[in-house]
């Protein structure tokens, strides 16, 4: 008989789960930055309150059961303590509601880790360059937001996809090797409208940075504005921000791209809760079933090679390492205490 088959042996070998110590959670990133667990959970609670009000204007914005799951999002977090005293998140339950500040934060961490891993892998194999681009349109009313996001996605396809041919972007596509696109939506509370825009990192061949007279494909800021206007079929020249990413600035660019897809801070702080709730209904209806993150070309291929899961639908616990098996010596359970706005063991 093997020792592992002895009754109770597996339970005996399981690491202890520590509770009730009164320790306040201080989860730090590899750079030493304290992660904002408490702040995000407080924002999550504010969202739950606002959703309750929003249901008075549109009951379809969230169901009873969904509201319960959002309220319960990350109400506890279990961390694995390693032999070197380091800690890693081992388990938690996230609601995955598109507008949940807690889940948006976890997705932003996941996106940062994935894009960093993909760009590292590409650079290990190829001599390429990256550019960071923000593509915008004018602010729109809530009733126009959904159609505007759809139009921006169509314009982006004409910019990057050879099957959606556009002469305006032909030169650019000759140098385009891959991209990572993230849609971001911010609310302008004073004007009562929304600002949808696209952040993207484009992987281009080095020839992009040589002049057209030399057979290259370099585009000036004016060229970019005209090209985005053409592929979007706009009757005005939109704002575009374009910046070549230097080697020491890559992580900063990835961090900018990986920001939350929907900024909820201003909305959650509006004193007029009815106004905030109506805006929340417009926003929720506009982004329903919209995809906010897209990989293309080399970015898509290397994401597949690295076996990275879906940013929006995948694992939100192991967002930075992807490692699910941890050699833990103990587990520490932290529970959110609303009275203190913190997670306490």
* 219 within 8 A of 174, measured Cβ to Cβ: no
- pLDDT computed for residue 339 by the predictor: 93
Quickly tell me which residue has 């929003």 as its tokens. Answer: 54
* 181-212 residue pLDDT tens: 999 999 888 888 999 999 999 999 998 988 76
Q: Is the pLDDT of residue 127 over 90?
A: yes
pLDDT (mean) for 57-79? 95
Q: Is the pLDDT of residue 33 over 80?
A: yes
279 HSE (CA, 13 A, CB side) = 29
121 HSE (CA, 13 A, CB side) = 17
CA 232 to CA 164: how far, in whole Å? 12
Length of the chain: 345
Q: What is the mean pLDDT of the chain?
A: 89
How many Cβ atoms are within 10 Å of 209's Cβ, its own excluded? 14
- Which of 260 and 113 is assigned the larger pLDDT? 113
pLDDT (mean) for 37-65? 95
Q: Is the pLDDT of residue 4 over 90?
A: no
Quickly tell me which residue has 């070197």 as its tokens. Answer: 84
Tokens of 15: 């690491």
* 98 within 8 A of 262, measured Cβ to Cβ: yes
Bin 341: left if φ > 0, else alpha if -120 < ψ < 50, else beta: left
SS3 244: strand
Q: Is the pLDDT of residue 344 over 80?
A: yes
For residue 124, CA distances in Å to 127, 178, 201, 235 come to: 8, 15, 17, 43
* 152-182 residue pLDDT tens: 999 999 999 887 767 778 889 999 999 999 9
CA 64 to CA 47: how far, in whole Å? 14
Quickly tell me which residue has 């694995």 as its tokens. Answer: 80
């Amino acid at each position: 008989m093997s020792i592992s088959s002895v009754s109770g042996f597996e339970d005996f070998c399981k690491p202890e789960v520590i509770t009730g110590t009164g320790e306040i959670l201080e989860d730090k990133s590899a750079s030493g930055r304290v992660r904002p667990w408490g702040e995000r959970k407080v924002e999550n609670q504010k969202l739950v309150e606002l959703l309750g009000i929003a249901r008075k204007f549109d009951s379809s914005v969230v169901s009873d059961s969904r509201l319960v799951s959002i309220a319960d999002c990350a109400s506890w977090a279990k961390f694995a303590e390693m032999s070197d005293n380091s800690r890693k998140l081992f388990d938690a339950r996230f609601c995955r509601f598109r507008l949940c500040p807690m889940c948006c934060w976890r997705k932003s961490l996941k996106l940062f880790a994935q894009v960093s891993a993909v760009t590292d892998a590409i650079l290990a194999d190829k001599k390429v360059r990256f550019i960071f681009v923000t593509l915008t349109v004018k602010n729109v009313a809530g009733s126009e937001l959904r159609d505007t996001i759809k139009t921006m996605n169509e314009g982006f396809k004409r910019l990057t996809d050879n099957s959606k041919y556009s002469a305006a972007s032909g030169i650019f596509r000759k140098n385009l090797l891959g991209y990572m696109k993230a849609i971001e939506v911010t609310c302008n509370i004073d004007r009562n409208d929304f600002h949808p825009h696209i952040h993207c990192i484009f992987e281009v061949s080095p020839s992009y940075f040589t002049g057209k007279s030399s057979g290259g494909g370099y585009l000036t800021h004016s060229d970019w504005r005209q090209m985005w206007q053409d592929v979007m079929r706009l009757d005005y020249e939109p704002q575009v921000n374009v910046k070549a990413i230097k080697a020491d600035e890559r992580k900063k660019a990835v961090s900018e791209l990986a920001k939350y897809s929907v900024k909820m801070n201003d909305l959650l702080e509006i004193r007029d809760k009815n106004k905030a709730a109506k805006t929340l209904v417009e926003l929720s209806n506009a982004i329903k079933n919209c995809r906010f993150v897209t990989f293309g070309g080399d970015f898509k291929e290397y994401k597949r090679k690295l076996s990275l899961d879906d940013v929006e639908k995948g694992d939100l616990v192991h967002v930075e390492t992807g490692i699910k098996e941890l050699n833990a010596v103990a587990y520490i359970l932290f529970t959110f205490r609303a009275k203190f706005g913190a997670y306490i063991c």
